[in-house]
Amino acid sequence: MKYVSMAVLLVMAVSLFCIPGAALAADITPAGDAITLSTTYPKIEATAQSPFQFSVEMSYKGAADRVFDLKATPPQGWNLTITPLYETTKMISSITMEASDTFKSQSLQITTGNFYSPPEPGEYVITLEATSGDLTGKIDLTAKVTARYGITAAPADSIYSMTAKSGKDNIYSITVANDGSAPVENIGFTADKTQGWEITFTTTEIAALEPGASKTVDVNIKPAAKTVSGDYMVNIWVSGKQATADKIAVRVTVETSSIWGWVGVIIIVLVVMGLVTVFVRFGRR
């Protein structure tokens, strides 16, 4: 009888451990404190001059309040700030998460960018970590930098005017610069001018101009020989395969050659002498 009772107890114990509900209850028992970092948009695309802004949800469950230190590793030379999502002027380096037996979240905004020199187009990874003791959460965010094309053109001496002799060569210099983040190719030069004028460029085309690079080009402006003295406008255009610069409007003050001035004086003298001779002759009669 004793052995029968022991057998019954053993069967009951085995049956208890085999009940599905009991096993399920054991599976969903919280394993302990946990932290997760997540975002809806892990990859953002923008040009090199634009900031990248990521919204990150920080979720925590645990038996006690915890202070998490926040650390982010942006690409070398990039700026980065961590702020509450709706208080973007308040930069933070840690955050307190309250105790909870279910995950509770706080939202962060990570803003990063390169504001000194434009980086090469490509993908750059920013790693954000939240650490409290031996508990750590981590997330990788990707900033995809796209090429930004841009060129500028301006007078080399910053003066938008010049004096020119009619019928003569007159040199005016301009500087072309790449202020974008990618090379600009096949940069050419054109100008609109007064009829009869000649305008030529010492460089007809720049094959490629790298970001941050510049080049000075001379422009020969030759007004027609019989151009009347006065002010004229010459517009210069600089255009590449990927970008076009704003036009350069140059005021050209044309001065006639001094020889024509002397010719005019001689003609006036001759006319005056002729008139005097006529008056003298007719006066004697």
Domain residue limits, the chain: 30-146, 151-257
Q: Are 111 and 80 in contact (CB under 8 A)?
A: yes
Per DSSP (E only), the strands in 26-75 are: 34-38, 43-47, 52-62, 66-73
Q: Order of strands across the sheet with 198-201? A: 151-155, 171-178, 214-222, 198-201
Q: Which CATH class is domain 30-146?
A: mainly beta
pLDDT string in tens for the chain (285-residue length)? 444 444 434 334 434 343 333 333 333 334 589 999 999 999 999 988 789 999 999 999 999 999 999 999 998 889 999 999 999 899 999 999 999 999 999 999 999 987 677 788 899 999 999 999 999 999 999 999 999 899 999 999 999 999 999 999 999 999 999 998 889 999 999 999 888 999 999 999 999 999 999 999 999 999 999 999 999 999 999 999 999 999 999 999 999 755 555 555 677 867 777 776 766 666 655
Asked if CATH classification 1.10.10.10 holds for the domain at 151-257, the reply, yes or no, is no
- Fold matches, 30-146 and 151-257: yes
Contact 153, 245 (CB under 8 A): yes
